[in-house]
A and B are shown apart, each in its own frame.
Chain A
């Protein structure tokens, strides 16, 4: 049996097509990361066009104009002009002030102008804008933090008239976060640590808001929302408590592309699975080599199963090559390999606790949870290919199955039976660490049953058909 599997793998690995797909995937990744870099550079130009377009509707005095909308566009445009003029780069600390203090001041200023407020109010507002510009020109990170701390303390006094109110707890959190900045030297900026600290207090407020609501009275989206806010808050708290947030910390969403890759699987990985499964048996039938194979002293069941194992093994190997390759390339282009070797905090819904995990370990876990999808996709296409011995047909059905993952999800509300589709139930990454599926009708027990049943049915059908098959003349 082992020699059979080895032979099958040998044959697959000697075909060119699979390498072509892998190379295209990696070349594509290289291109994308280069494009990605240049797109971030042209972010400013893109927004300029957008704001200018929006502003065109704001000059017509005859019609009542949308003040909010126009003030936003005008403030945005001013902000961009400022960034361009002063050559402020994305990663800089000044950028934070530009996009918060300066933007807020300008938004207020232009709102007053568009709403034709009185001169003195406008004058006062203009002053605030000048102050913000002054702040940027003589930027001092420590002073800036201290100012924020003072503001937060004032806020606290106000909010904590009722010490049990959510507002008070949020205000306290604000101070905790700012103190963390001071203690760990994390100035306001757009790095991931600063952003996490920024949202810390608001997350807590939201979490407290939904924490005590009974799931019975919530709809599915509200339940998801509740769970998410708990996860986000506890994750943030864990990072603060364990001093994980440092200036080079990468947060979950940007730090786990490798993990995400193994969760969703790149299209090229899917392409390889579909391609191999559709052609493996059909090609042998069409080229006649199946005859040579079937006169060997092995049962047909063994031959088919070894083919399944070989296709599966090669698919998994190429999943690793492509997913890791894409991230290594992106990491090299961006000069940041945190995405591959870093650690990250994840939330465990079983224990209701956050934990710190190695990206590699997480990737392996995600890869493991992707296996049911790979196996079932492969087995489905394999079965079709065995029944029809027509590679093109099996290939088409394979893509159909892949597309159905999205399409059935859309139509599931209207046609509830679609929730029994294996393609909606083989996504076990949705349940990682006790998470729940984004769809109400998909849950772990059902997914396990649907997956196991379809596995058994497909395997049985393919084995029976393969055993009964008369080898036709060519």
Chain B
């Protein structure tokens, strides 16, 4: 698989405050990376560094094989992006905004513009001034603007902001289709993990400017400790036996936090030590739980 976007050990400080520490990740063609972190984690800053909007202190960003620092123009030829919010000219109509963007690239035809307008469902309002759009409509136009240059790297900073559930669903389907059919690499940031859970292929979790977990969604869930609730005859001596991984609920039930494949070993250990096991229940963990367990909650510091 070809990697379309590589972020390698980038660092960024504002004055004395270092906001990014050796952030690295890679997105291959056809992958959708959920870039997840609480407010102030450094998502937008990372995206700005990728897009050359802010200078990189150290490290490098490679898009389509080109270093953003050295070969900016080549690196940006097939990138579509929304940073923070869709940046549109309010005094122009939606169509005029798209035409302006089309002018920056070679070979975008009138029909391409119309196709994109249809794709984001703005046909009816496209000739209205953007100042008359709702936030969700602006977000849709922003996505259209990002897709217009036919990018193979798409970078979206909190694009669901302002979209209604229907809009979110449509966007999801659109992104999945783009990744699958056009082999686009997509970076999508959010602090709302549940929104991304169902469709991203990979996640990168960032907190306080550090990537704390970077893995495929499947692995994230697997890798993370799962909660098993075990009912047994007595909980006496369990702590000694299992150590930190256990929490005593009451006299005859406990919770253990382990990775899935460790549970057999635990059960074997309990049986070897003459405990009687009545029931083992696995509490399925959502990505959200995983996120919280990894980041330790939504603390901003």
Contact = CB atoms under 8 A, between A and B. Distances in A.
Interface string B35-56: 0000000001000100111110
Contacts of B79: 295
B88 A289 contact: yes
Contacts of B52: 294-295
Nearest to B78: A297
A14 B53 contact: no
A289 B85 CA distance: 10
A159 B272 CA distance: 144
A11 interface: yes
Best-surrounded residue of B75, B100, B105, B145 (most CB of chain A within 10 A): B100
B184 interface: no
A326 to B, nearest CB: 27
Given A292-B145, A468-B55, A297 B77 contact: yes
User: Which has the most chain A C-beta neighbours within 10 Å: B54, B75, B77, B145?
Assistant: B54
Interface string A273-299: 000000000000001111110111111
Nearest to A294: B53
B193 to A, nearest CB: 22
Interface in B84-135: 84-85, 87-92, 96, 100-101, 103-105
B73 A15 contact: no
Nearest to B90: A287
A229 B33 CA distance: 81
B44 A473 contact: yes
Among the interface residues A4, A290, A291, A471, which one has the most CB atoms of the partner chain B within 10 A? A291
Contacts of A127: none
A295 B81 contact: yes
Given A292-B145, A296-B76, A471 B54 contact: yes
A289 B89 contact: yes
Contacts of A297: 72-77, 104-105
Contact of A474 (B84, B104, B105): B84
A77 B92 CA distance: 63
Q: Which of B48, B75, B90, B105 is packed against the most chain A CB atoms within 10 Å? A: B48
For the side of the interface on A, what is the size category? 20 to 34
A14 B96 contact: yes
B238 interface: no
Contacts, number: 73
B48 A14 contact: no
B100 A10 contact: yes
Q: How large is the interface on B (under 10, 10 to 19, 20 to 34, 35 or more residues)?
A: 20 to 34
Interface in A416-474: 468, 470-471, 473-474
B93 to A, nearest CB: 9
A300 to B, nearest CB: 9
Contacts of A10: 96, 100
Nearest to A298: B73
B100 A7 contact: yes
B84 A295 contact: no
A289 B96 CA distance: 14
A295 B77 contact: no
A474 B85 CA distance: 10
Interface in A130-160: none
Given A11-B89, A15-B91, A298 B53 contact: no
B83 interface: yes
Contacts of B75: 297
Contact of B87 (A7, A289, A470): A289
A120 interface: no
A10 B54 CA distance: 27
Contacts of A69: none
Given A295-B51, A474-B84, 12 more contacts: A6-B103, A7-B104, A10-B96, A11-B92, A15-B91, A289-B88, A290-B87, A291-B87, A294-B53, A295-B52, A297-B72, A473-B84
29 contacts: A3-B103, A7-B100, A7-B104, A10-B96, A10-B100, A11-B92, A14-B92, A16-B91, A287-B87, A288-B85, A288-B87, A289-B89, A291-B51, A291-B84, A294-B53, A295-B53, A295-B79, A295-B81, A296-B76, A296-B104, A297-B74, A297-B76, A297-B105, A299-B72, A299-B73, A470-B55, A471-B48, A471-B53, A473-B44
